Amino acid sequence: APAAGAGPADRPRRALATPATRRLARELGVDINQVPGTGPAGRVTSDDVRAFAARRTAPAPA
């Protein structure tokens, strides 16, 4: 129990998101810190991540 508390990810501008959502972002190759959050207190939801990934990979309209 020494100097914990300050976790490795206590870094500035860390997106607010649950562990499962973070993992989803990594799975989809999305930098979660770029995803705008629509949840409470600006939380990034899994839908936000999916939408972001879809926008990114959506083929440009022909």
Partner 1 sequence: MGSIKTGTDVVVIGAGPGGYVAAQRASQLGLDVTLIEREELGGTCLNHGCIPSKALISVGDLLYKVNNAAERGLVVKGSVEVDFAKTQEWKETKVIKRLTSGVASLMKAGQVEVVKGTARFTDPHSLEVELNDGGTAAYTFKHAIIATGSTAVNPSFFPLDGENVVDARGALAFREIPPRFVVVGGGYIGVELGIAYAKLGSKVTIVEATGQLLPGTDPDLVNVLMRRLRRLGVTVMLNARASGGLQNGKVKVQDGEGKVHEIEADKVLVSVGRVPYTEGLHLDKAGVRVDEKGFIPVDEQMRTNVPHIYAIGDVCSPVMLAHKASAQGRVAAEAIAGRPSAADWQTVPAVIFTDPEIAYVGLTEAQAREKGYDPVVSRYNFAAVGRALTMGESDGMVKLVGDRQSGLLLGAQMVGPEVSELIGEIALAIEMGAQMEDVALTPHYHPTLSEGILEAALSWMHSIEKAGRK
Q: Which is nearer to partner 1, 16 or 54 (CB)?
A: 16
Q: Which of 31, 36, 40, 51 binds partner 1 (CB under 8 A)?
A: 40
Q: Does 42 bind partner 1 (CB under 8 A)?
A: yes
Question: What is the rounded distance in angstroms from the CA atom of residue 26 to the CA atom of residue 39?
Answer: 19
Residues 8-37: x where in contact with partner 1 by CB under 8 A, - otherwise, as a string: xxx-x-x-xxxxx-xx--xx-x--------
Print burial letters for 4-40: b (CB count within 10 Å at least 16), e (below 16). eeeeeeeeeeebebeeebbebbeebebebeebebeee
Site of interaction with partner 1 (CB under 8 A): 1-10, 12, 14, 16-20, 22-23, 26-27, 29, 39-43
